[in-house]
Amino acid sequence: MTTHDDDFARKVSGYLDHGTASMRAGTAYRLQLARQQALARLDPERAQASELSGALAGAGTLSSGGSGRSIWASGKLWLGVGLVAAAMFGYQGYETWQSHQANELADTDLEILTSDLPIDAYVDRGFQNWLKTQAEDR
């Protein structure tokens, strides 16, 4: 633990001690037994890492609020992850489509430039009108 964590633990311990000062001895004893049972259920590494007192015994785990549920069980988290993933896939699909459109235009330009038509045909009004009607038919 860092110095900041130690200071925080002392402050919280003081508040908890102040809050339990008016409790009956039997209630405090039952709370102590419940805490010991909860610590016994933890794996040994986590039990040794927990140096905070009383209610802070499980504070090292990721939980949402005080419900004790894991943050990974939160529906809001998974909704956010899903939205970010959908946005990424959508953007990738858009980029692929845009690239495909650019490739089609480049292929069309290449076909026109490599065709057997003379350059004069491209400036002829009749040919331009014919190209427009061909494009509309597609």
pLDDT tens digits for range 6-36:
888 788 777 777 777 777 778 878 888 887 7
Query: Residue 32, Cβ neighbours under 10 Å: how many?
Result: 12
Rounded CA-CA distance 115/132 in Å is: 18
pLDDT of residue 114 exceeding 60, the answer is yes
Rounded CA-CA distance 9/71 in Å is: 23
pTM score of the predicted model? 0.30
pLDDT of residue 106 exceeding 70, the answer is yes
The residue with greater pLDDT, 91 or 57, is 91
The residue with greater pLDDT, 63 or 108, is 108
pLDDT of residue 56: 45
Average pLDDT for residues 79-108, to the nearest whole number?
89
> Is residue 7 left, alpha or beta, with left meaning phi > 0 and alpha meaning psi from -120 to 50?
alpha
Q: Where are the domains of the chain?
A: 3-61, 75-137
pLDDT of residue 127: 80
Average pLDDT for residues 91-106, to the nearest whole number?
88
pLDDT tens digits for range 33-89:
887 777 777 766 555 555 444 444 444 444 444 455 666 677 888 888 999 999 999
Contact status, residue 1 vs residue 12, Cβ threshold 8 Å: no
Rounded CA-CA distance 59/14 in Å is: 16
pLDDT of residue 58: 42
Hey, what amino acid is at 8? F
